[in-house]
């Protein structure tokens, strides 16, 4: 675990080997692309682990590019410590986008937290053996109050 704490924000730089301990089940390998470090989700859900000293309301931001599945709008749901937080529909774009969620204090626990990112769709790109959905660059948790 190697979180950078800045202004009460927790940043997980996905794709950077120094942050790999934050990622559990559901992630493909670390990659470099578009001048960024990132990793694909290659399952329907993926685990993210992080530590919090004291539960508080946070804004969660996931900076990601999606693998577009024909005729489908990607839907991304978040579970924190087993409790459903919310879901967002992704914009159908090949650019990076930031998905934001409000996570209330009661969703967190003091110490090690487990977040699950759950996707609605994944698909196999041509020439790639994996079934992909989100290419995640950064995950931020920003304290609201
Ligand atoms: Ca990154």
| pLDDT tens sequence across 43-84 | 999 999 999 989 999 999 999 999 988 889 999 999 999 999
pLDDT at 7 over 80: no
Ligand 1 midpoint to CA 17 (Å): 9
Run of H or E residues at 49: strand 45-52
Ligand 1 midpoint to CA 26 (Å): 16
pLDDT at 2 over 60: no
Going along the chain from its start, the domains and CATH numbers come out as 4-143 (2.60.120.260)
Segment 95-144, tens digit of pLDDT: 999 999 999 999 999 999 999 999 999 999 999 999 999 999 999 999 98
Ligand 1 midpoint to CA 126 (Å): 24
Q: Which SS3 state, helix, strand or coil, does residue 97 take?
A: strand
Ligand 1 midpoint to CA 12 (Å): 8
* Mean pLDDT, residues 23-44: 97
pLDDT at 9: 81
pLDDT at 71: 87
Least Cα distance to 67 among 59, 76, 58 occurs for 76
């Amino acid at each position: 675990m190697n979180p950078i704490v800045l202004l009460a924000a927790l940043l997980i730089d996905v794709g950077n080997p120094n942050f790999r301990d934050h990622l559990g089940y559901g992630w493909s390998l670390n990659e470099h692309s578009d001048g960024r470090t990132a990793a694909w989700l290659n399952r329907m859900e993926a685990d993210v682990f992080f530590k919090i000293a004291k539960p508080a309301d946070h804004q969660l931001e996931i900076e990601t590019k999606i693998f577009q599945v024909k005729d489908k709008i990607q839907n991304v749901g978040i579970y924190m410590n087993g409790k459903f937080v919310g879901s967002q529909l992704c914009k159908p774009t090949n650019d990076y986008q930031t998905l934001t969620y409000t996570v209330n204090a009661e969703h967190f626990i003091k110490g090690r937290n487990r977040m699950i990112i759950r996707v609605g769709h994944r698909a196999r790109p041509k020439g790639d053996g994996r079934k992909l959905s989100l290419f995640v660059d950064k995950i931020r948790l920003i304290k609201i109050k």
